Each structure stands twice: as C-alpha cells, then as structure tokens.
Amino acid sequence: MGITWHSSQPLTPLTGDTYMDHQTGYAFMWDGSTWVMFASSGPEPEIMFTAPTKEQLEKYPALKKSWEEFLIIKRLLGV
C-alpha cells in the first residue's frame, strides 16, 4: 500500500489516501473503511477512550489480559 497525499479530504478515498486538516492541524489516512488520525501539527487531539465489549474480551484472550492489567494499574494510580 502506498500513501497518496491530498490537499483536502477526498470525496471517494482509496486505501492510503492521506490529507491534512488545516483547521485542526491533524493528518488523516484512509484505512479502507474510516479516516484514522495519525499525526498532529497543532495542539494535542482529544483522546477518545473506548472500553472493549464483553464479546471482544471473550474472543481475544490477550485483550482480556491487557484490559485487566490496565484496570489494576488505573486503580493503583488512583485515576
């Protein structure tokens, strides 16, 4: 997969299409189904937090283990 830079968000993107949102300073790449932010030249982007679903935790044992460790660390830090 190659990267193709555009001056604005393409209307019909292809995998690897990339553009910089000049209003926010964020760079996005089309992964084939959604725009993924991968860089910022401005202020830090808002961090979006999503908890895994019960189905995801059951399907992926490594995710479940990591999630449990994350929750323990979070409690230890008091966050």
Q: What is the pLDDT of residues 48-74, one digit of tens each?
A: 566 788 888 888 888 888 888 888 888
Model confidence at 8: pLDDT above 90: yes
**Residues 1, 26: Cα–Cα separation, whole Å:** 21
For residue 42, the model assigns a pLDDT of 62
For residue 46, the model assigns a pLDDT of 63
Tokens of 34: 């959604």
For residue 43, the model assigns a pLDDT of 64
